[in-house]
Structure 1
Amino acid sequence: MTDPQTARRAHYATFYGDLPAAGYGVVVGNCQAESVRLVLDSDELPLLRMPPVHELDAADAARLHEVLAGASVLIAQQVKADYHGLPLGTRQLAASLPPSGRAVTFPVVRFTGLYPFQAALHVPGTEEVPPIVAYHDVRTLAEAAGTPARSELSADAVRAEAADSLAELERREQSLDVSISDLFAEPRFELVRTVNHPGNEVILEIGDRVLRALGRPGTATDPGRPLLDVVHAPREPWVIDAWGLDAEPRTGWTLNALPLDPAEVREAHLEWYRQHPDFVRGALERLRPSIERWRR
């Protein structure tokens, strides 16, 4: 039986193994980065598959700088300097490119306008995630904290949540080479499967804009399958009404194409919150503006 570390190195063999002679690139970021890599990888620009940035250890960071020393392109989501105590900041990585290398940055896509009840967050000191789906429902969080919350928001509140989310995305884009916020001017479920899992339409557009920023011809290539497709959040009827969408409500989650009972998720998360009170306190603080919209 193959041990996990060996399996991981085999999965990312192009990153850990022998490097191409020249002309290759690297896409650095979270799970969205791998999807961008998939739509941009080509014979003209081979892109090495590598682990998401939050999984990298000290040896991986050293390897990444070694890889970048021979790369022609770095395509990166913004990463702060000394991320996880390692030299993984975007500028730190770009500094390892050869003089002829190009670096292009694109945003981490996060949009709550279609899922205003949902949060994806980490609280410092609590690295664990809740069971079943690694997302939080602010209504369940409020219940765990003993804070009454509405079951749904008004159309105005949904739009206010979307405006805040879009403003934050636009703010982050100001320092980047590629923006994508304009795609969310008219929200549709096809754009995002969860608050941070964009659909193919968004990933392909990011790919096209990255190529333009690099001054390269061509367009991103649809892989012929849905990307970031493992988890789909509920589609609440009141959200559909708020945006006037032609979409069917879906009250439960979908995981690996199978439906999940929302009551099962809720009970599992309530139990997890009971076991992690520090997380609940930290999450409520970080989500305060959103939580205020849900107060009765």
Structure 2
Amino acid sequence: MQGGGWDDDGTDGYVHIMGVDTARPGSLADHGEAVIARRRHYAEFFGEAPLPADFGLVVGNCQAESLRLVIASEELPAIRVPAVHELTAADAARLHGLLAAAAFLVVQPIRDDYRGLPLGTAQLRASLPPSARVVAVPAVRFAGLHPFQAVLRLPEYPEDPPLVAYHDVRTVAEAAGRPVPSEISPAAVRALADASVAELRRREALGLDIPASDLLSPVVDDLARTVNHPGNALFLPLGERLVEALGAPGRVVDPGRPLLASVRAPLESWVVDAWNLDAEPRPDWIVAGEVLPAAVVREAHLAFYAERPPLLAAVVARMEPLLLTWGAAA
């Protein structure tokens, strides 16, 4: 039983693409203004700003930039790098050129030849100078605050659901004609959370340098924004471990704002009760700072599934363990 599901897409965990995907038609590669803005945003990466001395890189999925923000300082000058799922062939070549001069690399597990590019963890390590420090960190996801949620990468069906790129087990079940309850017991919530922590521990044991699984307790509302987007309550202590593992005189940096917070899933009242959280329930989504009613998302997703029966069947197959868990609570 895996709370929220796990989906390997090369980064040893969920890859949730926010914004524009450079590998798809209509992407920023086709729009000059977006390209200029992207190069400005990643100025050091693209050689449009000078590199600091003894710079390093943090490479991985959407969590990598948040990790960079909490470790970057004068002592640990980590430059901004696009998320690995956004890299083009030219970007990959640029990344390897930077690695050849880097003082350190923080990297999530990435399979060799990810998306047909030399972006695997071992391939990135091979470009580093012998003196460079390397720390492998986990990609973290946690089902305890969103035990109804999954994000899936289905190669045969690359289209994400509308409005928010997450699947809700209750909406999927309704679309498939096998309804489940609207909520589950506190014991079931904790069991799904425990399962996601156990899976993270299993992955940490495969050779990562620092753990994160023990940081998922105690459960607080700032621990996660969605099933695959941790919050500051995870990133700050993980950043402390990362700074220590790099053996540098740096310190963790509190950015003074919520990290990875452009999309916030509902925090439902029965989840708040299950953990006895000191937080107000939030029944709706928040996307780019605006409230997005959960009912609007549900209706849009039901229509999306109704128009794509083969995709729905694939989603049901991938979410079967979660559907069974929820169905048992009926």
Is 101-110 or 195-204 further displaced after alignment?
195-204
User: What does residue range 1-296 of structure 1 map to in structure 2 within 5 Å?
Assistant: 2-17=32-47, 20=51, 22-174=53-205, 175-295=207-327, 296=330
State how far apart, in whole Å, the 2-side matches of 1:33 and 1:199 are: 13
State how far apart, in whole Å, the 2-side matches of 1:136 and 1:114 are: 15
User: Shift of residue 25 of structure 1?
Assistant: 0.4
**Partner SS for 1:212:** helix
Could you tell me the TM-score, scaled by structure 2's length?
Answer: 0.85
Aligned length: 296
User: Shift of residue 69 of structure 1?
Assistant: 0.5
Cα deviation digits, residues 216-245 of structure 1 (max 9, x gap): 223211111111121211111211222222
State how far apart, in whole Å, the 2-side matches of 1:43 and 1:106 are: 22
**1:22 and 1:71 in contact (8 A); partners too:** no
AA matched with 1:85: G
User: Shift of residue 247 of structure 1?
Assistant: 2.4
Cα deviation digits, residues 145-198 of structure 1 (max 9, x gap): 222211111122111111111111111111211111112132111111111121
AA matched with 2:36: T
Structure 1 residues 150 and 17, CA, compared in 2 at 3 Å: closer, same or farther?
A: same
User: Shift of residue 261 of structure 1?
Assistant: 1.4
Question: Which has the bigger relative contact order, CA under 8 A and spacing at least 6?
Answer: 2
State how far apart, in whole Å, the 1-side matches of 2:244 and 2:314 are: 41
User: Shift of residue 22 of structure 1?
Assistant: 4.2
State how far apart, in whole Å, the 2-side matches of 1:198 and 1:102 are: 25
State how far apart, in whole Å, the 2-side matches of 1:25 and 1:88 are: 16
Cα deviation digits, residues 184-214 of structure 1 (max 9, x gap): 1321111111111211121111211111111
State how far apart, in whole Å, the 1-side matches of 2:239 and 2:148 are: 29
State how far apart, in whole Å, the 1-side matches of 2:53 and 2:309 are: 51
Q: Percent identity?
A: 56
* Regions of 4+ moved over 4 Å: none
AA matched with 1:288: E
**Partner SS for 2:57:** strand
**2:142 and 2:228 in contact (8 A); partners too:** yes
Cα deviation digits, residues 39-63 of structure 1 (max 9, x gap): 2112222112111000112111111
**1:106 and 1:206 in contact (8 A); partners too:** no
**Partner SS for 2:283:** coil
User: Shift of residue 73 of structure 1?
Assistant: 0.5
State how far apart, in whole Å, the 1-side matches of 2:214 and 2:131 are: 31
**1:41 and 1:47 in contact (8 A); partners too:** yes
State how far apart, in whole Å, the 2-side matches of 1:11 and 1:274 are: 39
User: Shift of residue 112 of structure 1?
Assistant: 0.4
Segments of structure 2 that go 5 or more residues without pairing to the other structure are 1-30
**Partner SS for 1:14:** coil
Segments of structure 1 that go 5 or more residues without pairing to the other structure are none
State how far apart, in whole Å, the 2-side matches of 1:144 and 1:81 are: 37
User: Shift of residue 75 of structure 1?
Assistant: 0.5
State how far apart, in whole Å, the 1-side matches of 2:189 and 2:176 are: 23
**Partner SS for 1:15:** coil
**Partner SS for 2:75:** coil
